[in-house]
Amino acid sequence: MIRKVVQKFYDDYYNSTDFRVWQNRFVNDIYSCLMSVGKEIPTVTALCDVMSEKRYRGLHIESKKIHSRSTSGVNFECRGKSVTKELADMVIVSLVTLDRQIVFMKTAFIQNKRATRQNALHTSQPSDSWVIDQEQLFLLKNFPTFTGASGLFNDIQFSFLNHSRSLGNYGLFSSNGDMTFLTAQNVFHNQNSNGRVVFDSIKRSNIIFSKSHINHEYFDKDYSRYCNCPGGLGCDDWMRLYFYNPPFFRNYSYALDVSEVVKELTYFNIGDLSIIVGHVTDAELYSYTGKLLLAAFGHKINEVYFRDYFNVEDKVLEMDDIDVNVVLSHVELGDNR
């Protein structure tokens, strides 16, 4: 199945000029949004709105804000003390299906920040910077065992695997209307002694790359009948480039502007895996994501996407006591799209 899905996405999306044109329009829509909104919370809401109902062939992006009726957060132990922090203000779920069967699903928790200006290292010129809450960073980098403090996940305990180190992330809004995306691990390594991340320092730093989930271990070794090698590349080289380590369906740990963010989103490179070809790789993340999707989008999650993959009680649909923007990026690669 995986081999067929990779070839299908390469042919219909990655190698399509029309798809690249669509991506660039998407980029322009986001830039228009970010340039017109100032404060952090309205920016996140507006960003999710502009990301909603984007379509190209079998790819569909939609978003929904779940409004809270009380303070939402999670409880966890941080360096020997109990703390309560917001887990994220945006969750991106990346879903790939083939004939409505799940090929894989990934989840990314994202905390968004608005920039302030300060002098960059070794220069008197001001650069965008972001103040990082160290306890929340601990949560998004390490994912200690936590329980919901209220609402949908109240008193439910979770311990996520975070295998790729790309489950927790930051969206950093720039003063010029741009956006940078970093995993929490890269935020930790790039912050200064004052707990700030400075954009000019990010550009000079060594980025830590995430581990890729979808690699050679998921593929049949016999590729020859699926390969049309271009001139100058042997079959082994070609298949290693696009199948062993494809430029899509991976785990990317950073994007330095909106154009890169859109590419990683629409190449399904954001987030940590919870299921692949019927095998649940992180049961607790899978459960959390399923409940969140049901709360955001209702029964159509089962009816349209999952064929009852998520057997969650109906009462979950009434428990909208959480404040988060949920973005679902889904591509159906089957013939019945």
Question: For residue 337, what pLDDT is reported?
Answer: 56
Taking the C-alpha atoms of residue 126 and residue 108, their distance in angstroms, rounded to an integer, is 31
Gap between the Cα atoms of 319 and 68, Å rounded: 10
Q: At what angle do helices 258-266 and 17-36 cross, to 10 degrees?
A: 130
- The 3-state DSSP class for residue 39 equals coil
Secondary structure (DSSP) of 85-128: E---SEEEEEEEEETTEEEEEEEEEEEEEE-EEEEPTTSSSEEE
In this structure, the dihedral spanned by the alpha carbons of residues 329, 102, 67 and 144, taken in order and rounded to 10 degrees, is -100
- Residue 230 DSSP class: P
Question: What confidence score (pLDDT) does residue 290 get?
Answer: 87
Alpha-carbon distance 110 to 151, whole Å?
19
- Answer for the pair 166, 109: CB distance below 8 angstroms, yes or no: no
Q: What is the pLDDT along the chain (337 residues), one digit of tens a residue?
A: 777 888 889 899 999 999 999 999 999 999 998 887 667 778 888 898 899 889 999 999 999 887 654 456 899 999 999 999 999 999 999 999 888 888 889 999 999 998 886 654 545 557 889 999 999 999 999 999 999 987 778 889 999 999 989 999 999 999 888 999 999 999 999 999 999 999 888 887 766 655 554 443 443 444 444 444 444 444 444 444 445 567 888 888 889 999 999 999 999 999 999 988 878 899 999 989 988 888 888 766 665 555 545 554 444 444 444 578 999 999 999 876 5
In this prediction the pTM is 0.85
Q: What is the pLDDT of residue 294?
A: 83
- As a whole number of angstroms, the distance between CA 136 and CA 168 comes to 10
User: Does residue 86 contact residue 73 with C-beta atoms inside 8 Å?
Assistant: yes
d(CA 137, CA 109): 12
Residues forming a β-bridge with 326:
64, 91
Question: Residue 279 burial by CB count (10 A; 0-12/13-18/19+): exposed, middle or buried?
Answer: exposed
Q: What is the DSSP-derived secondary structure letter of residue 240?
A: I
Q: What is the pLDDT of residue 150?
A: 77
Tell me how far apart the 2 most distant CA atoms of the chain are, in Å.
61
Question: What does the block give as tokens for 13?
Answer: 């999306």
Q: Where are the alpha helices (DSSP H) in 106-242?
A: 134-142, 184-190, 199-204, 235-239
Find all residues with CB under 8 Å of 26, minimum gap 6, and list them. Answer: 54, 262, 266
Per-residue model confidence (pLDDT) at position 188: 95
Closest alpha carbon to 321 in 85, 70, 41: 70
